[in-house]
Structure 1
Amino acid sequence: IDGLTFDAGRLRQVNQRDSSDYEDMSITTVGVKNIRARQTTSDAFDFANLSYKWNDALTTGYGFGRLDDFYRQHYLSLNHLLPLGDGQSLKSDLRFARSTDEGGSNVDNKAFGAMFTYGFGGHAVGLGYQRMSGDTGFAYVNGSDAYLVNFVQISDFANREERSWQARY
């Protein structure tokens, strides 16, 4: 189908950036996530992603992820690019994720993020907002990147009940 992209897979182990071996996966515990689990590792992460490019300006998506015995996660995304003329544009990136436990943890999180970026010539200025709600912070596989607008090198800004703003050039 024209404009449709589908990805799916199962990951069995992870190779951390500071390691030379492969190991079972674990849930991230950095920050104040308040995530508790009965076990420490899992040997299966399943995922499926659908995205549809409606036209050159609008793309929507749905994704599902599951870290066996830890959590299930559903997420929605919307990306829109509004041309403003003379090399200018306004990009909107909206994301929502719902994470729940899978019997072996207490994961309960809703994550909302929005990033608006004004582009002009070779420059861009962005403003982002991210909010966590629920009993825990945002769950993701330790050592991976979280699908959040405010996930940056210094922090994921995904702790329990955390709100964060971001200004970016």
Structure 2
Amino acid sequence: MQNTMIPKLSLAVAAASVLPSVHAADGGFIDGASATLQARNYYFSRDFSDIVGANQQSKAEEWGQGFILNFKSGYTQGTVRLGVDAIGQLGLKLDSSRDRVGTGLLPVGDDGRAADDYSRFGAALKVRVSDTELKIGELQPNLPLLTFSDIRLLPPTYQGASIISNEVAGLTLHGGHLRSTSLRNEAGDGRMRAMLGRTPQAGFSDAFNYVGGDYAFNAERTSLSAWYAQLEDIYKQRFIGLKHSEPLGSWTLGANLGVYDSNEDGSKLAGAIDNQAFYSLLSAKRGGHTFYVGYQAMFGDHAFPRVFANVTPLGNEVPTYEFAEKDERSWQVRYDYDFAALGVPGLVATVRYITSDNVDTDRGFEGTAHERDLDVGYTVQSGLLKNVGIRIRNVAARSNYRSDIDENRVILSYTLALF
């Protein structure tokens, strides 16, 4: 698992570098091709400050180096046009120990130690007819019911088929069947399972199926969404969403609203599931300033269900706490600033605070939680270090029913366009 894929990733990089000169006669398939290689250096530290005892891990801290190769071909000529997308990923351990594993950066072996390296390579055939595209193979969907969770060293992928159609102006239709997943810290692929709130469930599903659509109108300032998904034999989920942006003088006002309804499916491998969720996130932007306020509420007999190891698509989803437990109500205030307004393009900052109550802990008391996040990021805009980025995140999360957490992340990245 640890070393066999490294030659494949090296070969893929080399092949991508020489592909244009070797196959230049192939027309659109090559003329429309692109390839990038991203280097990502990731330090992650999470201190579970209220955990004590010799047999309980009180800290997760690791450091890794990742490489992500993305290749996207153009299309062959004709009514039915063909192409190929490919992704190769390699993760290397820079620092870890048995008593600090579990950050999600690196796979952990049976001996309780992080692997020295892990890698994977996958490709997808794409078939385009008019403005409809079918993909079969390695996929990275980003959906209201399956959010793309690129939050660690390497992003996850899924194996299956998807179709996206844009035949009607403003209307985008989606459908898909995913049979397995490669998690963010795994080399292989495996069956999917669910989480309810923060709790992983035992049952494994053979497929995740989805269908949905987004319709944009009002000069694309307003969009409506309707989606349905099924994690076979575990849960099914429905979603309706509204997004709107409204210029008002020097301000731009925004709204992002959504409602989810979820219940168990088929063989009920995770037991009964009953959850209804509502979120709202309102924004006001002027110059480099953007202000947000949000409210989110869970209803029903259980916490919010999602595919394991993914962030939730909810409005109050944050780096550490999910705010999606049974009966939980949460409020968010957030402030973003883009320093381009002060003549420093590439520098951005976010500060966010979320507080919640009304959690049904099943332990005889009401659960409460709060989290404060600070993010600062900078991407070099020109010169020798152009496109080098750094992002720093500091989190303090506190609760009366789950572990308190102090968290720090430092992420260095550089994306090189190969062609």
Counterpart of 2:309 (choices 137, 143, 149) is 143
Any residues of structure 2 matched to 1:103-122 within 5 Å, and which? 103=266, 104=268, 105-122=271-288
Q: Report deviation, 1:143.
A: 1.5
TM-score, normalisation: structure 2: 0.38
2:245 is aligned with 1:81: yes
Q: Shift of the alpha carbon at 1:145?
A: 2.6
Partner of 1:163: 329
C-alpha distance in 2 between matches for 1:97 and 1:30: 14
Distance apart, 1:30 and its partner CA: 5.0
SS at structure 1 position matched to 2:272: coil
User: Where do 5+ consecutive residues of structure 1 fail to align?
Assistant: none
Once the two structures are superposed, residues 73-96 of structure 1 have per-residue CA deviations (whole angstroms, 9 ceiling, x without a partner) of 00000001110122x111000000
Q: Which residue in the other structure is 1:90 paired with?
A: 253
Corresponding residue to 2:186 among 3, 13, 19: 19
Contact 2:196 2:304 survives alignment (8 Å):
no
Amino acid at match of 1:26: R
Whichever of the two has the greater Rg, that structure is 2
- Structure 1 segments, 4+ long, off by >6 Å, are none
> How many residues are paired up?
164
Counterpart of 1:2 (choices 159, 165, 169) is 169
**Structure with more of its chain in strand, by fraction:** 2
Counterpart-to-counterpart distance in 2, 1:95 and 1:48: 17
Identity of aligned residues (%): 33
How much does 1:61 deviate? 0.5
C-alpha change, 1:30 and 1:77, in structure 2 (3 Å) is closer
Can you give the 5+ residue segments of structure 2 that lack an aligned partner in the other structure? 1-167, 336-419
Distance (Å, rounded) in 2 between the aligned partners of 1:54 and 1:10: 28
CA offsets 1:3-55 (integer angstroms, 9 cap, x no match): 10011111111111122221100101453x6x87xx62112000112110122
Q: Is the 8 A contact 2:203 2:234 kept in 1?
A: no
How far apart, CA to CA, are the structure 2 residues paired with 1:131 and 1:142? 21
Decide whether aligned partners of structure 1 residues 69 and 153 sit closer, same or farther in structure 2, where only a CA change above 3 A counts.
same
Between the aligned partners of 2:210 and 2:190, the Cα distance in structure 1 is: 19
Q: Look up the SS of the partner of 1:110 in the other structure.
A: strand
Native 8 Å contact 2:296 2:330 kept in 1:
yes
CA distance, structure 1, for counterparts of residue 197 and residue 171 of structure 2 = 35
Separation in structure 2 between the aligned mates of residue 119 and residue 30 of structure 1, nearest angstrom: 31
State the TM-score, normalizing by the size of structure 1: 0.91
Aligned to 1:27, the other structure's residue is in SS state strand
Once residues 322 and 178 of structure 2 are traced to their aligned partners in structure 1, the CA distance between those partners, rounded to angstroms, is 22
**2:211 aligned to which of 43, 48, 69:** 48
For 1:109 and 1:29, the matched residues in 2 are separated by 10
Query: Quick one: which of 296, 299, 305 aligns to 1:130?
Result: 296
